[in-house]
Amino acid sequence: MKPQVEIYDTTLRDGSQGEGINFSVADKLRIAEKLDSFGVHYIEGGWPGSNPKDIEFFAQAKKKKFKHAQLAAFGSTRKKNTPVESDDQVRLLIEAGTPVVTIYGKTSMLHVKEVLRCTPEENLAMIADTVKFLKDHGKFVIYDAEHAFDGYKLDAEYALDTWRAAEKAGADFVVLCDTNGGCLPGEIAAITKTAMGKLNCKIGIHTHDDIGLGVANALAALEVGAVHVQGTINGYGERTGNCNLTSVIPCVALKMKKTCVPAKSLAKLKELSMFVDEVANLRHNPRLPWVGSAAFAHKGGAHVNAVQKLASSYEHVDPSLVGNERNILISDLSGRSNIVIKAQELGFKLTNDTPELRQILDSIKQREHEGYEYEAAEASMALIIRGILDHNPALLFEVEKYHVSMRRDAKQSICEATVRVRVGKKVHDEVAEGDGPVNALDSALRAALGKSFPKLKKITLTDYKVRILDGVAGTAAKTRVLIESSDGQREWGTVGVSENIIEASLQALVDSMEYALLKK
């Protein structure tokens, strides 16, 4: 079925201009394949005229067959006072070998005079000549009207002339761009509606998020008839980013009830979001709408109680529709429902009638008051629940003593840790050096426990965070340590709190090892 709204992804080009984003050729190819399998309609691969990496990407991409998406090369109109056939940048767009070419041109009279520094007539010729040349070479041409809205507000008739020049030359789409990202939804809707009344070609929208309205502005254009939306996965992009496709896609499909990507792809949306973050080597943003881990998180006891009875009371859609899940958080704001649901998620057979429920709730709230927090330390919380339900079960192991020291040897600082652990009747002593005191302590603890529990040798510490809880107390302040660990198949978080950062770290490390030894 032909989509009512086409999705144009520019993660590999516009998204790569964002701070901290740097894709290799291999990265770009992997993301392109993922986007294609997800079902977007266009994948903008880059600007073959701007750098060797993009030239190499298009050379590699020619060898691949895309099932759903069409690959687009991006560039600009010809240079001023230069025949289009003599423009090297335009020639590289042809040589990229993509079925689609997207070019941008100037809409704003201000940019024509102050940036291009050419006549208004020459700018119109630049647009028309380039579009026609690309069409003559068999390309599907998308014309991005840069600064479309700001240009229209400055000189409406000239802005329309630039769009008409692209249409008359054969452009398949005229895409209106809020390049500075500063427009309001009402402005976007009104100007897009005007463009639709003046042009006969299809209209698209390209927005930025400089005032936090990238998605809202894109939806405003779609509401009045635009049928093509450009954006990036997770909102990557220059300055504060582009329109976020992980928000636009479900809004179009589930809120506007219009077809865009294949229906079966929606359930893979969170997976796609996390995949792109992983390739970009960025931590996933938990607060992303729809796909973030906090998107369907509930913390307040009243909210959790209501969701337990009727999910729609505090959830606008079923999280599974976009591949997400409900997340019940535990804190001093928690009620009985929070504990029951979270405990069930962790594998405990807990109900509202479990006698130990009140003790579990009181214990967690007391520890939260002392500085512990369990939103990112579910493994530590699981150990608390287990201890109360099993009425203080025998310890798997016990750290009897430890010592951490640091010495300076010439210009090098060396940290050393000594640990003694008891496993039943066995006592294990171990010494280890490390890059820092916590690293040394982790190595010594792991080596000592590994003598009785070989499986712990596979455990790795993947993240370590420290937060000072009471800055007024200075160096005597309480410290919270959060540790994330992995065995290669699953990840879990643990927490420790103490005025001594080493002691807090040891608490979190011990919880991590103990949790790793427990069966699910």
Q: pLDDT tens digits, residue range 68-86? A: 999 999 999 999 999 999 9
Q: Which two tokens stand for residue 218?
A: 């894109």
How many residues would you count in the chain? 520
Average confidence score pLDDT of the chain: 89
In the structure, what pLDDT confidence band is assigned to residue 327 with cuts at 50, 70 and 90? low
pLDDT at 363 over 90: no
Rounded CA-CA distance 207/210 in Å is: 9
Give the rounded percent of residues in the chain with a pLDDT score beyond 70: 92
pLDDT of 352 reads 81
In the structure, what pLDDT confidence band is assigned to residue 364 with cuts at 50, 70 and 90? confident
pLDDT of 448 reads 92
pLDDT in tens, 131-176: 999 999 999 999 999 999 999 999 999 999 999 999 999 999 999 9
The pTM of this model reads: 0.71
Q: Do domains 348-392+459-520 and 394-457 have the same CATH topology?
A: yes
pLDDT at 119 over 90: yes
User: Can you say whether residue 373 is alpha, beta or left, with left for phi > 0 and alpha for psi between -120 and 50 degrees?
Assistant: beta
Task: Pick the closest to residue 489 from 514, 455, 465 (CA basis).
Answer: 455
Please state which CATH number belongs to domain 348-392+459-520.
3.30.160.340
Q: Residue for token digits 């893979």? A: 268
Instruction: State whether residue 56 is helix, strand or coil.
Output: helix
**The amino acid at 25:** V
Element (H, E) at 232: none
327 vs 45: which has the higher pLDDT: 45
Rounded CA-CA distance 300/291 in Å is: 21
Q: Which two tokens stand for residue 133?
A: 């040349």
List the domain boundaries for the chain: 6-261, 348-392+459-520, 394-457
pLDDT at 357 over 90: no
Return the CATH fold of 6-261. Answer: TIM Barrel (3.20.20)
H helix count then E strand count, the chain: 17, 16
CB atoms within 10 A of CB 81: 9
Return the CATH fold of 394-457. Answer: Double Stranded RNA Binding Domain (3.30.160)
pLDDT in tens, 470-508: 655 555 578 889 898 888 888 888 999 998 899 999 999
**The amino acid at 269:** L
pLDDT of 220 reads 98
E-strand stretches of 208-344: 228-231, 297-298, 327-328
- Alpha-helical segments (H) within 245-335: 245-250, 269-280, 301-309
